[in-house]
Amino acid sequence: MTAVASIESAKAAAETRPQRVGVLLVNLGTPDTADARGVRVYLKEFLSDVRVIEDQGLLWKLILNGIILRVRPARKARDYLKIWNTENNESPLKTVTRAQSDKLAAAIADHDHVVVDWAMRYGNPSIASRIEALTAQGCDRLLVVPLYPQYSAATTATVCDEVFRVLASMRAQPTLRITPPYYDDPDYIEALAVSISAHLASLPFQPELIVASFHGMPQKYVDKGDPYQVQCIATTDALRKRMGLDAGKLMLTFQSRFGFDEWLQPYTDKTMEKLAKEGVRRIAVVTPGFSADCLETLEEIAQENAEIFKHNGGEQFTFIPCLNDSDPGMDVIRQLVLRELQGWI
């Protein structure tokens, strides 16, 4: 009788437990504070990831701990301070990702058994903490949404790695789905085109050309088979076609290189210098590889590269914001999530 009662109790508990679907938006990450200590903690986690720096041997550890983490945090903290959301005491990436999560939850609120949350791959809120929170709310199915339009091992794959690591420690694992990259998704391309056109229409000048700047990657990673470069090219080609522009009016470049290895080219900063010296006076830059504005867009592009362009003879520079939590941007995320939730809702 005891065994039968235990079985019946377990069945009753299972029947009363809410069966929910968790949706977890994930972006790259950010320091918790805009000071050297906060940046150091963030950089250590980020640069210790074998997906980001594949050679984690003794030489790299010496460079990381002996040089980079001693010198770079103070400098990068100054850069973060230039763009920091002082009202909320957080980076814009965290502000935007939270807003994307809140707006997605509102947009699919008619599915009352779906719970939307957000996390950062590096820093806080961590993926582990949010998966724990979702499962505590009864989510036995989980859709993870890496907010990277283009796939790369250093972004999408490392999100998957961390999700798998967290699930590996769980006895009762949720059923898992992960959204695919959406680099040539018609909704995404349309949203980019609408955003670009609206921004350009608001300007007092007409840019001579648009530069589409994507985050860079060591060339050797692509040589080993990473599809990132191909997907960046596909995004740019689709955007050119949608906007009726040729390669001379919408250029592809790569930014944010780090270290001494050869990275994907052409480099954004070198292109800014070259174009200005060749007589281009008015330029616009869009960053289609970022779903939310962050240090690499608001500081590196909108400030550093603007200065490079003007220092070399350029006159008018405009940065086109990321899709962020705009209506077109949220429509992309909503459509992606609803498509991948088919069969669960």
Annotated binding residues for Fe(2+), as ranges?
A: 215, 296
From CA 337, how far away is CA 332, in angstroms rounded?
9
Label each residue of 155-218 as H, E or C. Answer: HHHHHHHHHHHHHHCCCCCCEEEECCCCCCCHHHHHHHHHHHHHHHHCCCCCCCEEEEEEECCE
Q: How many CB atoms lie within 10 A of CB 259?
A: 11
Instruction: Output the six-digit token pair for 209.
Output: 């050309």
55 token code pair: 């050679």
**To which H or E segment does residue 309 belong?**
helix 306-311
For 119, residues 6+ apart whose C-beta sits below 8 A from its C-beta are 24, 25, 26, 125, 126, 127, 129, 130, 131
SS (H, E, C) 233-294: HHHHHHHHHHHCCCCCCEEEEEECCCCCCCECCCEHHHHHHHHHHCCCCEEEEECCCCCCCC
Cα angle value 9/133/107 (rounded, 5°)? 110
The neighbour count for residue 219, using CB atoms within 10 Å, is 15
Residues at the binding site are 215, 296
**Residues paired with 85 in a beta bridge:** 90
**How many Cα atoms sit within 13 Å of 239 on the Cβ side?**
29
Question: Facing residues of 139 across strands?
Answer: 20
Rounded distance between C-alpha atoms, residue 212 and residue 320, angstroms: 10
Neighbours of 273 (CB within 10 A): 18
Cα–Cα dist 277/282, whole Å: 12
